[in-house]
């Protein structure tokens, strides 16, 4: 989903040894620093989704063993939210997409 295009600078080969960069040719769609910031996948409480269903989804999406999945499910149930995973944005977005496919309330947040 996210489009990662690294900062590209094109230099004029005919330019003098001082190599003046042409700002018009500089393309930068997203700051690399922003992409490197860790993100977290958060699941929010929902009174309708069954506890057993939520546990199954955590096992399927994250490959967590049942005990860990249940721990997260109970944290969602009692505290209203649980951080399921943290890391690079692209992967976090993919996890959130999968969780929404199971109709869970999930968001990505900057850490």
Partner 1 sequence: MEICRKGDELEISDLDPFLAELLRQIPASAEAEESSVRQRLFSLPADASEKEICAEWKLYVEPELRSLFQTATETVTADLEQLNGKEKSVRNCTLRIPTQHADAWLNALNQARLAIAAKCNFTDGELCDHYRSPIGSRRDLSLFQVNFYGFLQEFILREVSGDGPVERQPD
| Binding site residues, partner 1, CB under 8 A | 1-2, 46-50, 52-53, 56, 93, 96-97, 100-103, 105-109
In whole angstroms, the minimum distance from the beta carbon of 16 to partner 1 comes to 39
In whole angstroms, the minimum distance from the beta carbon of 12 to partner 1 comes to 32
C-alpha span between 62 and 57 (Å, rounded): 8
Are 108 and 90 contacting, i.e. CB atoms less than 8 angstroms apart? no
Identify which of residues 40 and 75 has a Cβ nearer to partner 1 in the complex: 40
In whole angstroms, the minimum distance from the beta carbon of 26 to partner 1 comes to 20
Are 6 and 32 contacting, i.e. CB atoms less than 8 angstroms apart? yes
Identify which of residues 14 and 34 has a Cβ nearer to partner 1 in the complex: 34
Phi, psi for residue 89 in degrees, rounded to 5 = -60, -45
In whole angstroms, the minimum distance from the beta carbon of 17 to partner 1 comes to 40
Describe the chain by its helix, strand, coil percentages, rounded to 5: 40, 20, 40
Identify which of residues 9 and 66 has a Cβ nearer to partner 1 in the complex: 66
Are 104 and 57 contacting, i.e. CB atoms less than 8 angstroms apart? yes
């Amino acid at each position: 989903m996210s489009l990662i295009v690294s900062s590209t600078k094109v230099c004029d080969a005919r330019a003098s040894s001082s190599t003046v960069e042409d700002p018009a040719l500089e393309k930068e769609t997203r700051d690399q620093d922003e992409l490197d910031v860790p993100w977290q996948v958060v699941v929010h409480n929902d009174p309708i989704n069954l506890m057993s269903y939520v546990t199954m989804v955590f096992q399927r999406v994250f490959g967590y063993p049942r005990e860990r999945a249940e721990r997260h499910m109970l944290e969602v149930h009692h505290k209203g939210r649980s951080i399921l995973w943290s890391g690079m944005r692209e992967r976090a977005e993919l996890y959130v997409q999968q969780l929404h496919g199971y109709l869970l309330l999930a968001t990505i947040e900057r850490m």
